[in-house]
Structure 1
Amino acid sequence: MTAETVNRVIRVGTRRSLLAKTQSGQVADQIAARLGVQVELVEVVTEGDVNQTSTLASLGGTGVFVSALRDALIRGDVDVAVHSLKDLPTTPFDGIALAAVPPREDPRDVLVARDGLTLGELPPGSVVATGSPRRVAQLHALGLGLTIVGLRGNIDTRLGRVASGDVDGVILARAGLARIDRLDVVTESIDPLQMLPAPGQGALAIECRSADADLVADLAAALDDAPTRAAVTAERELLRTLEAGCAAPVGALAEVAEGEHGPEIWLRAVAAAVDGTVELRRSASGPVTDAAEIGRTLATSMLDEGAAALIEEPGKQQA
């Protein structure tokens, strides 16, 4: 660590939502503790925060929560940006480095439903809300006869729709509820065999200017978690090769475990028609050092089986 890094105040950019400020605050605390520097949180408004009524797909899908933070980085308004990694476009952004990916939270989706019910206990016709075509597709594929409606807003707004009786349940990411200490509302953590999460779900991305080489190196050494980085690398390479954005009906989950010849990665993926009529689920595994290649190879094989036709027009779905 250089003297310049130690003596500077690190400005951490964050969106204004409770979840964003909570997870950015946790990262800021870790930076302060591990690098021995002063840290300041700087709030940045994104288009996705301002527009709470339109679907994410109609706002542009991938990157809707990311671009304003990246612009703040490039302008020099902040030194570090913290994102939910699932929101991060898979295409590299000139001038910005993904400095660290901290240890991942539980990546599963969860149900918050009336009367403590699980998905299997909800009667046919029950109204379940979600803002994700990926979740819509997999819910329909389960064949439970649920009525699926759209969902936007912050966590409290989403939970309020269940409390008010407007809907029977909502699907959310478990990680977000865990970070704001609201897991008590969860009625079911959904098995990935039923619903694969979004690529990168549960993980955070810490970005800074690539020209700020000392800070990039310091953040990587202090905060990067190698197994998490390998897992999300496989998931995001699959997404990139499929040419699908974060609003596409694509799910993926990679897990790292010790194999016979060292650490191995197991990647599962799904591409599905949003109406649930067609679902393509495949998996692949290999050495953790080949994470990107595993994701690329699995995506290529899924494209050969027709995955592109399932995900080519997610923007038309009102999820």
Structure 2
Amino acid sequence: MSLRIGTRGSALALAQTDKVVGILADRGIEAEVVTIATEGDTATGVPLHAIGGQGVFVRALDDAILRGEIDAAVHSMKDIPAARPAGLTCSAVLERDSPADFLAHECPLEAVSVIGSSSTRRRAQLLRDAPALEVKQLRGNVDTRIRKLREGQYDAIVLAEAGLERLGITLPGEPLPTDRFVPSPNQGTVAVVCRDDPAVADAFAPLDHAPTRFDVEIERAVMEEVGGGCFTPQGIYCRNGDLIAEVLALDGSRWERIERRVTTVGEAREWGRALRVQAAGLIREAYATLGIKP
């Protein structure tokens, strides 16, 4: 069997796809890598929320699967939006790498005053922790972000620690604790999305890591019930059924948070609905401030 696997062209996306291809090769399955440009890769001069959020990294690959141009695509699972097109299935969730954010800085930590990040969640959490910080927009691939840090455009930047590990990049700095800087839902996780066809999906099934799938399904259930997309600052993280979820004001001045032990997706949905009620004002405020229609 030979498969066509789509991916974005960034170094990180290619590294993640190469890992999947390597596992398939060990099982005697050939795969061709097809690189596809997405709007999120080409429109780097504007914030993500202005071009549709994290889903812009996924849409072009979804369309290519549905058109039959590729059989599957490899994604950072946190980029996959809650609403999914018919005809696709998530055939494998790989074992999770670090879920943490990493604060990279070459100056002493106490000298950091300007931090680069385009994430509304990271910005809000950083400002909650240190309101005097200036958090400036930062888009681009990992190499671009590191270059801008070294050029002195920022004192520090925030990156996903898992991405650095997959690329074999070591930077000065430290991971941010996940209880204070709650990650994006599914951060640190790689997923394979394919055509909803058993002949294709079954090829990827052995790559699936059941404990990781359980945790990320809990996170996605909460995310779907809370809503707000990537426009509203929210962190949702589950580890072995221990759930932390929070929604913040854009400036980090206020937040609503739950911490619960969850054993089923149904329970997760209940707590997601509860958090949405608690955080309704913050969600409305974020949409209004960003000029986005709910």
Give TM class, smaller chain.
over 0.9
Q: Which stretches of structure 1, 4 residues or more, deviate above 4 A after TM superposition? A: 314-318
| 1:141 and 1:279 in contact (8 A); partners too | no
Check the 8 A contact 2:128/2:252 in 1, yes or no.
yes
**Equivalent pair of 1:247/1:315 in contact (CA under 8 Å):** no
2:142 matches 1:150 = no
Q: Which 5+ residue runs of structure 1 have no aligned equivalent?
A: 1-7, 257-264
2:271 to 298, 309, 313: 298
Unpaired runs of 5+ residues, structure 2, are none
Residue number in structure 2 paired with 1:272? 248
Question: Deviations along 1:33-87, whole A, 9 cap, x unmatched?
Answer: 12x1211100001001111111110000141100000111011111110011001
Following TM superposition, by how much is the alpha carbon of 1:114 offset from its aligned partner in structure 2, in angstroms? 2.2
Alignment of structure 1 residues 218-257 onto 2, 5 Å: 218-220=203-205, 222-256=206-240
CA–CA separation in structure 2 for the residues paired with 1:158 and 1:209: 34
**Number of residue pairs matched by the alignment:** 290
Q: C-alpha displacement at 1:315, in angstroms?
A: 8.1
The equivalent of 1:159 in structure 2 is 146
Paired position in structure 1 for 2:48: 56
SS of match in other structure, 2:188? coil
Which residue does the alignment assign to 1:286?
262
Residue pairs, 1:60-99, within 5 angstroms: 60-99=52-91
- For residue 86 of structure 2, give the secondary structure of its aligned residue in structure 1: coil
The answer for the alignment partner of 2:156 in structure 1 is 169
How far apart in 2 are the matches of 1:247 and 1:201? 16
Cα 1:150–1:315 shift into 2, 3 Å: farther
The question of whether the paired residues in 1 share the 8 Å contact of 2:90 and 2:194 is answered with yes
Q: What letter is aligned with 2:235?
A: G
In the superposition, the TM-score normalised over structure 1's length comes to 0.87
CA contact (8 A) 1:285 1:294 kept: no
1:178 aligned to 2:154? no
Where 2:229 maps in the other structure, the secondary structure is coil
Instruction: Quote how far apart the aligned CAs of 1:113 are.
Output: 0.9
Aligned to 1:16: 9
SS at match of 1:185: coil
- What is residue 4 of structure 1 aligned with on the other side? none
* Residue among 281, 284, 292 paired with 1:309: 281
TM-score (norm 2): 0.94
Aligned counterparts of 2:140 and 2:288: Cα–Cα separation in 1: 18
Match of 1:29 among 22, 34, 37: 22
Q: CA shift at 1:131, angstroms?
A: 1.1
CA distance in 2, matches of 1:275, 1:56: 17
Output the amino acid matched with 1:310: L
Query: C-alpha deviations, 1:216-256, integer Å up to 9, x for none?
Result: 12312x10001110111111111100112134301011001
CA distance in 2, matches of 1:304, 1:25: 42
Percent identity, aligned pairs only? 36
State how 1:200-219 maps to structure 2 within 5 Å: 200-210=186-196, 212-219=197-204
CA offset at residue 303 of structure 1? 2.2
Residue identity matched to 1:202: G
AA aligned to 2:226 is: L
Does the CA contact (< 8 Å) of 1:239 and 1:299 recur in 2?
yes
Deviation at 1:273, TM superposition (A): 0.1
C-alpha distance 267-158 of structure 1, shift in aligned 2 (>3 A): same
- Confirm or deny that 1:191 pairs with 2:184: no
- CA distance in 2 between counterparts of 1:83 and 1:208 reads 11
Cα–Cα, structure 1 residues 159 and 314, in superposed 2: closer, same or farther, change >3 Å?
Answer: farther
Shift of 1:314: 4.9
